[in-house]
Amino acid sequence: MKRLFFALVSIVCSLFIITGCTQTSGGDQKEIRLGFTPGPYSDQVKKAVQPYLEKKGYKIKIVEFNSPNETNPALTNKDIDANIFQSTAFMKSYAKENNAEISSIIQVPSAPQGVYSEKHKSLDDLKDGMKIGVPNDPVNLERALRILEGIGWVKLKENVNILTISEKDITFKKKDFKLVPLESPQIPRAMKDLDYGIINGNLVISSGHKLKEALELEKTPSQHRIIVTVRDEDKEKQFAKDLIEAYHSPEFKKMIQSEEQFEGFVLPDYLK
């Protein structure tokens, strides 16, 4: 009987230890699974957010996806608890198309989109027949066309729809160049075949380059800055509040200001 008693006690204690790794005494989860695509946003978390949360007793699991198309489904399927890769505009577009109940809880320092070239040192080199790589998803294409409009290469129709924007919305082109729509991650790899490419900042960094190499950087509007996204049902949960707290921490601010990797990022108001 004594052996049976101690065996039962041992099992109960083991269960307590296991559940204690993922929950607080009040039932709040203590493991946070964060999803990313390759780039600097996972680095931000690893350098300052993760250590901050681990001091509060959390276990952080980093999950990297090769494609943005995998990251939101993983969130809605509850394979991860939050993701950090998309803008507000992208999230709203995805949510509308997929009836996804997801929300932003905070903006993070964001790498701006920009115009890059391996063949030309100036925007003044633009000529007829040149090829310009642009993202093929509507949200990032809209950003790219706004940059081209800002430097005077195109003019767009008024009140274009961000979810359906296309080359048909261009009313003027400075030169007879060709837009080459590509998946965003493909543009850095295709630069040898392009005259110019409009590349998302996180992809510039993940490809081993720096934002300051851009011939033109966007002044990233609020709807195109990167956010932490969670399921609607989790917005008020403690782990979401603690994620926000970690980004607001002095440790995170110091890291962003001191790391050369994040030079040129657009900062949210709470870090200014």
Element (H, E) at 217: strand 216-217
Strand order in the sheet with 226-231: 59-64, 31-36, 82-87, 226-231, 102-107
pLDDT along the chain (272 residues), means of 10: 43 39 51 93 97 98 92 98 95 94 98 97 98 94 96 95 89 98 95 97 90 95 95 98 98 96 94 94
Element (H, E) at 15: helix 2-22
Evaluate whether 161 touches 142 at the Cβ level (below 8 Å). Answer: no
According to the model, what pLDDT value does residue 50 have? 98
Backbone Cα Rg of the chain: 22
Evaluate whether 157 touches 121 at the Cβ level (below 8 Å). Answer: no
Alpha helices in 88-130 (DSSP H): 88-98
In terms of Cα–Cα distance, which of 153, 166, 245 is closest to 195? Answer: 153
Which residues lie closer than 8 Å to 258 by C-beta, 6 or more apart? none
Task: Read off the pTM.
Answer: 0.81
Q: Domains in the chain and their CATH numbers? A: 19-110+223-271 (3.40.190.10), 114-219 (3.40.190.10)
According to the model, what pLDDT value does residue 28 have? 65
Please report the DSSP string for 24-60 in residue order: -TTS-B-EEEEEE-SSHHHHHIIIIIHHHHHHTT-EE
Which residues lie closer than 8 Å to 43 by C-beta, 6 or more apart? 261
Q: What is the pLDDT of residues 73-109, one digit of tens each?
A: 999 999 999 999 999 999 998 999 999 999 999 999 9
**How far, in Å, are 69, 153, 263 from residue 86 at the CA level?**
11, 27, 20
